[in-house]
Amino acid sequence: MPLVKTHAFVIRTIRYSDSSKILTLFTNELGKISVIHKGSRKNTKSGNSGSFSYYEAMIYFKDNREIQLLSQIHSLRVFKNIVSDIERLRAAYIVQELLNKSMPSNSPNKELFESVFGFFQCIDSVVKNAEFELLKFLVHFAETHGIIPEANSVRFETFFARSGFTLYKSDLDFLNSIRDEIESEEDVIRKDINLNKLCRIYEQLLLDNSVVSGYHRTRSVFDQF
């Protein structure tokens, strides 16, 4: 059973027992995988595996096994500024949820991994608008997966009616008319672009093509604030 060393982000955590957790990791070497982190809930020396950090992990990997065994994990960088601002926090959770629902297991995508790292670096730094950085990430995420909205492919006036959000054909027309024109935050202001609307459109497009069905839990939680 090979021991694989990889960089990783934790995108989901589930309590497995009184002492262990099951983590969903997005890694540069193995793609999205689930691992069991034994003893992590009782032994602080086993390594911190919270959200919004960049990790180095050692994983005992076996083909055709659904849950791998995590040997070691330690943080290389903590994005501590994300939790200090609700807009940054929302953007970070949205990206985590999309990675968990949209990425198939065991399919490495190093280009996307670098984009995720760049996104977290950016919103952890001093940025004026976390939602603008989220939009840029979503556009790149969609295009690397061949998901580009085309209004002429829509047969019905409304679709993607999930979690109380309905996407109209007119929204796709609007999106296609400006998608290639967004180069800077100043463009957004000058063109009077509705960032929230664009982000929601891309989120719904990505979720509609997800490997995991369901609604967008992050938006439903943060929309209450």
Q: Where does residue 7 rank: exposed (0-12), middle (13-18), buried (19+ CB within 10 A)?
A: middle
Q: Can you tell me whether residue 212 is helix, strand or coil?
A: coil
Taking each helix axis from N to C end, the angle separating 195-208 and 130-144, rounded to the nearest 10 degrees, works out to: 30
If you average pLDDT over residues 144-164, what whole number do you get?
52
Instruction: Report how far residue 148's alpha carbon sits from residue 43's, in angstroms, rounded to the nearest whole number.
Output: 46
Residue 175 has which token pair?
């999106």
The CA distance from 74 to 77, in Å, is 9
* Residue 145 clears pLDDT 60, i.e. is over it: yes
Q: Domain spans of the chain?
A: 3-78, 82-222
Name the average pLDDT for the chain: 79
Q: What architecture is the 82-222 domain classified under in CATH? A: Up-down Bundle (1.20)
Q: For a pLDDT cut of 70, what percent of the chain falls above it? A: 67
Radius of gyration of the chain (CA): 18
- Residue 95 C-alpha from the chain's centroid: 2
pLDDT digits (tens, 9 = 90+) for 87-108: 999 999 999 999 998 899 999 9
As a dihedral over the C-alpha atoms of residue 83, residue 103, residue 178, residue 185, rounded to 10 degrees, the angle is: 20
pTM, entire model: 0.78
State the Cα–Cα distance between residues 112 and 92, nearest whole angstrom.
Answer: 15
Q: Which CATH superfamily is domain 3-78 in?
A: Nucleic acid-binding proteins (2.40.50.140)
- In tens, the pLDDT along 33-87 reads 999 998 755 555 445 556 789 999 999 999 989 999 999 999 999 999 998 899 9
158-180 pLDDT, tens digit each: 444 343 445 566 666 666 666 66
Confidence band of 225 (pLDDT split at 50, 70, 90)? very low
Q: Judge whether residue 206 has pLDDT over 90.
A: no
What are the backbone dihedrals phi and psi of residue 155, each rounded to the nearest 5 degrees, phi first?
-95, -25
Picking from 16, 207, 222, the residue whose alpha carbon sits closest to that of residue 97 is 207
Do the bridges between strand 31-37 and strand 53-60 make them parallel or antiparallel, or are there none, so unpaired?
unpaired
- The residue among 136, 132, 139 whose CA lies nearest residue 186 is 132
